[in-house]
Amino acid sequence: MRYSKYLIVLLIAVFPAKLFAQDITGLWKGTLYNDTTKKYYRYEIGISEEKGKLSGFSHTFFLVNDKEFYGVKKVKIKKVDGKIIVEDAGLIANNYPEAPAKGVRQLNVLTLEIKDSIMTLSGPFSTNRTKEYSSLTGTISLQRKNDFWQSALVPHLQELGLSTELSFVKNEIEKEKEEVDKIAAKQAITAGNNPVAVQKEKAVVEDPAVKKETKAEVVPSKEITSNKATSKADDKKEVNKELDPATSKEVAINNEPVNKETRTGAKIPDGATSNKVIPKAADKEALAKEIKPTGSKPETTTDVTVKATDTKAAEIKETKSIPVAAKAEAKSEVRIAEQVKEIKPVSIVPVAAAEVANRKNIVQQTVYFSSDSLQLSLYDNGEVDGDTVSVLMNGNIIMAKEGLSTNAVRKSIYVGHDVDSIELIMYAENLGSIAPNTGLLVVHDGKSIYEIRFSGDLKKNASIILRRRKN
């Protein structure tokens, strides 16, 4: 008997110590009961731990006349005498119809229990008394959940940019990133883009010895260079020679200036050069007979000047004509612009859920129903930021491009007796101003009410399964 008493005392002393050392970080989801209003409210707490210090956020949610109300608070968390103390540290987001009372803080004194691997936090809460408000009391009952993305709190914090302040969310994001990196690395190796092999190949290419060898192969030999120089000189000589048709002798052109005094004795004015061979008098007569000019003198150097003047005049004439053409083209462009203005644009309305088949369906929750008629109500889960969704039931659109807000968007559906299962797809038409697209679906099944949080983006659809309850 004496030993059994000691054993009982030892178990009582050790068991609370083990509970007290238990990791309590994560999402805790449940209800808050208000003794004054006699109502239950949806309540969640996210507990984080950084460097041995606990902190977190709380989320209160309730519906009044089909309108959604919520409040998100920063909270302080401590472990004292085997209890989990949670105290308000400030309201960071809400859509209450009236401004919340200043100076009012909520204090939760919770006890941790573990039964069949299910962890719960429960206990009383109270608010401090102020000059205007008396103290409120009630009870809290929470259970730790692993799938924190289906909560009301975490998606809301994500929209506020605060989700990574929760250590368990931050760790999960880092794990997902590591998995993505591993998959990408495997795909790269499979495709032959092994980073290690690429680095080795790059090192070989950048090896100085390899560079020298490549350079030596490119530089031509002296013999080839000299041959090329010789051939260029020969080409130059060939280009600078031409046969004189009168004497059948080679005459240099282009490179050497022609003497001012030609074979005919005609002189070229000082300062003028010519690369033409001036024919003799006999050649001029033959040329004049072929042309047969009417009352014109044989062609001389003066004629060349006249021709040049005519060419310049033609150029000037052409230059003057350019603005006229430009004006005509500008007038044409103005007419086209006026015609375009007259054409009325045709508005194209995008089809609802256009890319539904190209997105992956992620099951958010499974709900069991019993009625033949269900009422669906849609709300924005968190900040109202312009989220728009389309709802499909078994592949058919039943709600097209509905904007989500704190006010309910309703739809009644009728389920035949022969239908045992329904899949609702929540298709994100956009991401609003704050990604992702999050919402709340409330399913009214007779007297039963189910609240389903969903989240989607441009790659994933939120899927909700409704199954008929079998008696």
pLDDT tens-digit readout, 305-320: 444 444 444 444 444 4
CB of 26 closer than 8 Å to CB of 144: yes
Q: pLDDT confidence of 348, banded at 50, 70, 90?
A: low
CB of 146 closer than 8 Å to CB of 38: no
More confident: 171 or 148: 171
Which sign, positive or negative, has the C-alpha torsion 368, 62, 126, 167? positive
**Based on the domain organization, do 48 and 137 belong to the same domain?**
yes
Q: pLDDT confidence of 335, banded at 50, 70, 90?
A: low
Residue 145 burial by CB count (10 A; 0-12/13-18/19+): exposed, middle or buried? middle
Find, among 275, 255, 266, the residue nearest to 302 by Cα.
266
More confident: 211 or 399: 399
pLDDT of residue 109: 96
pLDDT, tens digit (0-9, with 9 covering 90-100), for 18-37: 555 689 999 999 999 999 99
The residue-averaged pLDDT of 162-167 equals 93
pLDDT of residue 117: 87
Rounded distance, CA 419 to CA 443, Å? 17
Could you tell me which residues come within 8 angstroms of residue 285 by beta carbon, excluding any fewer than 6 positions away?
Answer: 298
Residue 291 within any structural domain of the chain: no
More confident: 72 or 293: 72
Look at residue 408 and tell me whether its pLDDT is greater than 80: yes
**Based on the domain organization, do 332 and 399 belong to the same domain?**
no
**Based on the domain organization, do 426 and 398 belong to the same domain?**
yes
Q: pLDDT confidence of 106, banded at 50, 70, 90?
A: very high
**Based on the domain organization, do 154 and 20 belong to the same domain?**
yes
**Based on the domain organization, do 234 and 322 belong to the same domain?**
no
Rounded distance, CA 322 to CA 303, Å? 29
Residue 290 within any structural domain of the chain: no
Residue 199 within any structural domain of the chain: yes
CB of 424 closer than 8 Å to CB of 470: no
pLDDT of residue 281: 52
Residue 131 within any structural domain of the chain: yes
**Based on the domain organization, do 419 and 373 belong to the same domain?**
yes
Look at residue 197 and tell me whether its pLDDT is greater than 80: no
pLDDT, tens digit (0-9, with 9 covering 90-100), for 36-95: 999 999 999 999 999 899 999 999 988 888 888 999 999 999 999 889 999 999 999 998
Look at residue 226 and tell me whether its pLDDT is greater than 60: no
pLDDT of residue 203: 53
More confident: 239 or 403: 403
**Based on the domain organization, do 63 and 133 belong to the same domain?**
yes
Identity of the highest mean pLDDT range in 97-101, 244-248, 249-253, 295-299: 97-101
Residue 271 within any structural domain of the chain: yes
The residue-averaged pLDDT of 331-359 equals 71
> How many distinct structural domains can be found in the chain?
5
More confident: 458 or 325: 458
Look at residue 239 and tell me whether its pLDDT is greater than 50: no
**Based on the domain organization, do 172 and 251 belong to the same domain?**
no
Which stretch of 46-50, 125-129, 323-327, 333-337 has the lowest confidence by average pLDDT?
Answer: 323-327
Q: pLDDT confidence of 339, banded at 50, 70, 90?
A: low
Residue 124 within any structural domain of the chain: yes
The residue-averaged pLDDT of 125-139 equals 92
**Based on the domain organization, do 196 and 276 belong to the same domain?**
no
pLDDT of residue 295: 47
> Which CATH number characterizes residue 64's domain?
2.40.128.120
Residue 140 within any structural domain of the chain: yes
Residue 223 within any structural domain of the chain: no
More confident: 453 or 201: 453
The residue-averaged pLDDT of 151-167 equals 89
Residues in the chain: 471
pLDDT > 70: percent of the chain: 62
pTM: 0.57
Which stretch of 215-224, 241-250, 411-420 has the lowest confidence by average pLDDT?
Answer: 215-224
Q: pLDDT confidence of 246, banded at 50, 70, 90?
A: low
**Based on the domain organization, do 155 and 173 belong to the same domain?**
no
pLDDT of residue 196: 54
What is the residue range of 276's domain? 230-283
Pinpoint the alpha helices (H) of 191-219.
195-205, 208-218
Find, among 35, 108, 42, 101, the residue nearest to 77 by Cα.
108
**Based on the domain organization, do 157 and 62 belong to the same domain?**
yes
The residue-averaged pLDDT of 440-451 equals 91
Look over the chain and give the mean of its residue pLDDT values, rounded to a whole number.
Answer: 75
Q: pLDDT confidence of 218, banded at 50, 70, 90?
A: very low
pLDDT > 90: percent of the chain: 40
Rounded distance, CA 79 to CA 23, Å? 11
Look at residue 331 and tell me whether its pLDDT is greater than 70: no
The residue-averaged pLDDT of 268-293 equals 49
Type of residue found at 100: P
Place of tokens 């950048």: 206
pLDDT of residue 330: 61
More confident: 159 or 237: 159
Residue 283 burial by CB count (10 A; 0-12/13-18/19+): exposed, middle or buried? middle
pLDDT, tens digit (0-9, with 9 covering 90-100), for 120-130: 999 999 999 98
pLDDT of residue 396: 94
> Which CATH number characterizes residue 424's domain?
2.60.60
**Based on the domain organization, do 307 and 255 belong to the same domain?**
no
Q: Which residues pair with 74 in a beta bridge?
A: 57, 90
DSSP string, 219-240: SPPHHHHHHHHHHHHHHHHHHT
